[in-house]
Structure 1
Amino acid sequence: MTVAFNWTFLIAAPFWALMIFLPAWRWTRRVLASPWVPLLPLLVYFPIALAHFGELWRVVSTPDLAELQAFLAQPYGAATIWAHLIAFDLFLGRWMYFDGQARGIRPLIMSPILVLTIFLSPFGIVAFLAVRSASVRRPEASLTA
């Protein structure tokens, strides 16, 4: 499970690096244009989640703190939830990247917000939405990405 846990972030890291360090590079936009990018960490999630599906389903379908704690205490439980978080954060970061570009939010503002999103996505999304609400949308901008 340690290998699966470690691979989850390693799969996502190159995409975060592109958005943070090379946001204006044409290949960044091309690579991230694929809607499959945020799903790549799920390559780790699905095998583990399917192997422990009964327990995972019980934990998410009838939320109970003790049950969740017990699930997360297992290496497979922590690896499953970690992969879920990494995939969701990448989905969120990708959306923020494209929306920020469409709104003309400068990379010097977006990059720290994306870093914050990697580590603490609730803080990152609040920061992004605050900046987003203060920005003016470019008329030619498209959110089709």
Structure 2
Amino acid sequence: MNAQQGGGRAGAHRVLILGAGCAGTATAVQLAARVDGRQDVQVTLVNAQERFTERMRLHMTATGQRVAELDVPELPAGTGARFVHGLGGVESAAEIAERHPGMNVVLLGRAEPGAAMGPRARRYLRGALDRLGVPRGCPARWG
């Protein structure tokens, strides 16, 4: 989808980051800082939950210790990136690819999508993403 079809200006870049974990949040904040003041770039961070889960501190939670409550919408505040409460990464990528077939949608993550699923579910997911033309990859394997 080009900017004119989506209601934006011709030549505008809209970057959609799916997932507000450490990597997604850092990417949104750093990219927004890098393009600060440019009217032709819009950075949007989408996450299924508004609460940020610090995986590095889950052991503290398990032992009853209190950890800071971090709200995802506040994390990119003041950077120029905006937050949208929405689906998770795989669901969002599939939905976008289905609704906007001409748009380039690429799904990146630590592991292949569905890596934790059983074999049948993983095959189904891969088949659905293939039908939608969504390439997927794991940067650690590109090395």
The TM tier, using the shorter chain, reads: under 0.3
Instruction: Give the TM-score, by structure 1 length.
Output: 0.26
Normalising to structure 2: TM-score of the pair?
Answer: 0.26
Larger relative contact order, structure 1 or 2 (CA cutoff 8 Å, min sep 6) = 1
Query: Is the strand fraction higher in 1 or 2?
Result: 2
The structure whose residues are more often helix, as a share, is 1
